[in-house]
Amino acid sequence: MSPSAPERRIRITIAYDGTAFHGWQVQPGLTTIQGELERAYLALSKTAVKIQGSGRTDAGVHALAQVAAFTTTNPIPCDNLRRAMNRLLPPAIRVLHAQEVASKFHARFDAVSKLYEYRIFRDEICSPFERPYVHHFPYPLDEAKMAEAAGLFVGVHDFGAFAASDEKYGSNYCASRTIYLSELVREGPRLFFRVRGSGFLKHMVRNLAGTLIEVGKGNLGGADVRRLLTAPGGSTSGSTAPASGLFLVEVTYKS
């Protein structure tokens, strides 16, 4: 009997247009990013694997560089693996890079930070070719106040007021997160909210963006944002911004 092939840990970087997908995580009867990746790998190797991502993006959210990893005994070289998976994946999902990593590598738990970008299109007319990738908001906003409020998110805070309900958030769940960067930048007709943090709660970035929009509309002020960051359990932020404007830009790891 020939010896079994050694296990390999493969890290992949993926870009996807999340418009037509029900988020990252596999869900019965629904088309998801994780599900499509696992389906493509099964077709390629005839062996099922669980592909673990750095986090779960919501339905309709996009990624420029999501990171995931899986363990396999398939000896296919990484470049060939990338090409083969891209032939089997729908065009809205691309494997950008594949590499062999240490067996203990975990895409989620080893991540040091994640960078998200929320895009708001401010002009009256938004091209139909851009509309799936922005939140079109042509109405008056005080962008200076929004930028000032964005800076309040930096630091270690309890972001429970900015999280959607989730079964894993029990009474003792710690909602504290560290935000390293939070800025609002205007570039032409587009307003970019960029936020880098140690981790994010469910819908957190979309709720941060929605809160900034409420600040821009004059419905909330800096004092309200500070209150939300120190609010007792049960307090919630303003509206949740649409998923179409959100991009996972980068996941960083220790070198």
Catalytic residue from among 58, 158, 166, 224: 58
Is 142 considered catalytic here? Answer: no
Say how far residue 203 (Cα) sits from the centre of its chain: 9
Could you write out the three-class secondary structure of the chain?
CCCCCCCEEEEEEEEECHHHCCCCCCCCCCCCHHHHHHHHHHHHHCCCCCCEECCCCCCCCEEEEEEEEEEECCCCCHHHHHHHHHHHCCCCEEEEEEEEECCCCCCCCCEEEEEEEEEEECCCCCCCCCHHHCEECCCCCCHHHHHHHHHHHCEEEECHHHCCCCCCCCCCCCCEEEEEEEEEEEECCEEEEEEEECCCCCCHHHHHHHHHHHHHHCCCCHHHHHHHHCCCCCCCCCCCCCHHHEEEEEEEECC
Q: Give catalytic residue positions.
A: 58
